[in-house]
Amino acid sequence: MSSGAVLILFPIIVGIIMLGLGLTLTLEDFRRVVKYPKAMLVCLVSQMLILPAICLGLVVAFNLRPELAVGMMLLAASPGGSTASLYSHLFKGDLALNISLTAVNSVLALFTLPIIVNLSVSAFVGSDSSLGLQFDKVIQVFALVLVPIAIGMAIRAKFTAAARRLERTVKILSVVALIVMISGVIAGIGAEVFDILGEIILAVVAFNLISMAIGYFGPRLLKVGERESIASAFEIGLHNASLAITIGMSPMLLNNSTMAMPSVTYGFVMFFTAVVFGIIVSRRVRATTPTGDLSATPSRV
């Protein structure tokens, strides 16, 4: 498949991924937010304010070229992905909180992501640049994310059993779709891909590890329960790389392969770092909890 064909398919690919997310959501996931006031507030403040500030610091510290700097900020502005729920489940986090956070973050990101991207383009590329998410592009991001999620939720509400059966299929399609997207980015960049990878790999890994650490230790410092803190760590630490790649690469949006490269790198790195982080957190829990039973910690804040 040519890179041009992949570019055309990007919106469809993300539509499939967002539809899969919608199939896992119900209105109760949004109503449940009031049950986790402290955990939710800590996560949202970290996601919307602290992480972009930290990412900006890393961009400056590593002296990244303008396109990669914008790509890093795009990644930081992207909400948590559905992968966070999987890791939270594996390492005994509060899955209900993950689902609620993903739902709320996905909606809030529709407003915060264009602001952060436009400010980043203006700061790093130049205010006279044609790049950035103008109003019509913001509407396209709304449609790209919100419409498939809404359709998935409607299917879940009306045909619950069918939606549950479809979840596994859509998850498999989402993984295939992410591989296709990554292939498209690499094809668009060509031989320069390894030079770019060498330039950003340390910044990407640092951002990923710092994100998970803030997601875990921030809530713990504020006396949030262990299970909620684990859920927060993965929600804040595992961004929606697919969405960021699409915004960076799509001809309808930023249309810049280099800007998508930080998210491509992140999409690979986070799977491995999340496992290591989960093992470390699990050992810490076993060391501080005599029975090693996470259910002994409060599941409501």
Residue 151 lies in a domain: yes
DSSP readout, 235-258?
HHHSB-HHHHHHHHH-TTTT--HH
Question: Burial level of 103, CB count in 10 A (0-12/13-18/19+)?
Answer: buried
Count of residues in the chain: 301
Residue 64 lies in a domain: yes
What pLDDT score was predicted for residue 291? 52
pLDDT bucket at 53, cuts 50 / 70 / 90: very high
Residue 293 lies in a domain: no
Residue 298 lies in a domain: no
CA-based nearest residue to 200, from 297, 14, 15, 65: 65
pLDDT bucket at 65, cuts 50 / 70 / 90: very high
What pLDDT score was predicted for residue 207? 95
Q: Which two tokens stand for residue 46?
A: 């970290």
- Give the position of tokens 């690919």: 13
**Residue 163 pLDDT more than 70?**
yes
**Residue 4 pLDDT more than 70?**
no
Give me the domain span that covers residue 10.
3-286
- Identify the weakest region by mean pLDDT among 121-135, 160-174, 218-232: 121-135
**Residue 258 pLDDT more than 60?**
yes
CA-based nearest residue to 131, from 214, 249, 13: 249
Q: Which of 1-15, 111-125, 173-187, 237-251 has the highest mean pLDDT?
A: 111-125
d(CA 70, CA 56) in angstroms, rounded, equals 9
- Give the number of domains in the chain: 1
Residue 22 lies in a domain: yes
Taking residues 28-35, what's their average pLDDT? 70
d(CA 104, CA 108) in angstroms, rounded, equals 6
**Residue 32 pLDDT more than 70?**
no
Share of the chain above pLDDT 70, in %: 76
d(CA 139, CA 137) in angstroms, rounded, equals 5
Q: Are 11 and 181 in contact (CB under 8 A)?
A: no
More confident residue, 284 or 76: 76
Residue 11 lies in a domain: yes
Residue 273 lies in a domain: yes
CA-based nearest residue to 278, from 106, 85, 100: 85
pLDDT bucket at 301, cuts 50 / 70 / 90: very low
Residue 297 lies in a domain: no
- Three-state DSSP class for residue 55: helix
CA-based nearest residue to 31, from 99, 120, 93: 99
Identify the CATH number of the domain in which residue 155 sits.
1.20.1530.20
What pLDDT score was predicted for residue 206? 95
**Residue 299 pLDDT more than 50?**
no
User: What are the two backbone dihedrals, phi and then psi, of residue 80, each rounded to the nearest 5 degrees?
Assistant: -65, 150
Share of the chain above pLDDT 90, in %: 17
CA-based nearest residue to 141, from 275, 269, 2, 254: 254
- Three-state DSSP class for residue 298: coil
Cα of 5 vs its chain's centroid, Å: 25
